[in-house]
Amino acid sequence: MAAAHIKKVIKIGGSLAIILPCQWAKGKVKPGEEMVVVGNDELRIFPVHFEHSEIQERKSLDNGTASQH
């Protein structure tokens, strides 16, 4: 069984999508992009781009330095 660092789970339409780090995409996603895995009747992998401010916020959250609201 493989383990993954799941960054976020979102809902797209009626499906759940799991956002994983780009290294899990095996060349399909460039560094700085995220990989989204959508499970439906088939497994689809595609890159998703985040705004620069959201990327910075994610890095802060990953490092535990995000400000508390």
Domain extent for 23: 8-63
Assess if residue 1 is contained within a domain.
no
- 46 is a domain residue: yes
Count the neighbouring beta carbons within 10 Å of the beta carbon of residue 50.
Answer: 14
Residue 28 belongs to a domain: yes
Residue 44 to residue 40: CA distance in whole angstroms: 8
Q: Is-contact 35 28, C-beta < 8 A?
A: yes
User: What gap in Å lies between CA 47 and CA 43, rounded to an integer?
Assistant: 14
Low-confidence ranges of the chain (pLDDT < 70): 1-8, 10, 12, 15-69
Would you state the pLDDT for residue 43? Answer: 53
- 30 — phi, psi (to 5°)? -80, 155
Model pLDDT, residue 32: 63
Answer yes or no: is 38 within a domain. Answer: yes
The answer to the question of residue 51 being in a domain is: yes
Bridge partners (DSSP) listed for residue 37: 18, 45
Q: What is the pLDDT of residue 66?
A: 46
